Amino acid sequence: MNGQKIGYKRVSTIDQNTARQLDGVPLDKLFEDKASGKDTNRPQLQAALNYCREGDTLVVHSMDRLARSLVDLRGMVTKLTGRGVAVEFVKENLRFNGDDSPMAILLLSLLGAVAEFERSLILERQREGIALAKVAGKYKGRARSLTQEKVAELLARAAAGERKTQIAKSFGISRETLYSYLRTGSQEGASDRLAA
């Protein structure tokens, strides 16, 4: 019996689109996150990993969509192949099934290290840009997500007992930002975190 092909897509922010990822790839099931790849604690990634069974293949557009850290990438691939789940990266044209050659493992490590290095460079350039903008007096920080009216609505919904996850989703903010609004009781002090 052939296993299922399970797709996983990821973009870093809710404004980004996953349409180009796995375009035209036949899949039995698809999971999609709009979250940073800095760690593996992503709801749909965890759901995909739990859904995979022996004989299945997890299909991902590219390695950096699965993980930005070499340790996380190798750990996930090793764990999945150890359970009898193959991992396929479309962009790199690589497939891992546990019986991988030393060359395949080397490629996984090299390409994973490149993705991790690229993320480090992006963060470094971002920090340098912010530092220069601060010196020039041009950096104001990220604009607040919600107006005072929206904050009042958010606080009222939370006070009425609505689930925090649902509130955050309906306002298009992270749960961390929601809790920041709830702690301060106003817009001050609450800011979205930029997801890399």
Give the residue numbers annotated as catalytic, written as ranges: 12
The 3-class secondary structure across 110-152, one letter per residue, is HHHHHHHHHHHHHHHHHHHHHHHHHHCCCCCCCCCCCCHHHHH
Q: Is 54 buried (19+), middle (13-18) or exposed (0-12) by CB count in 10 A?
A: exposed
C-alpha–C-alpha distance, residues 95 and 73, integer Å: 13
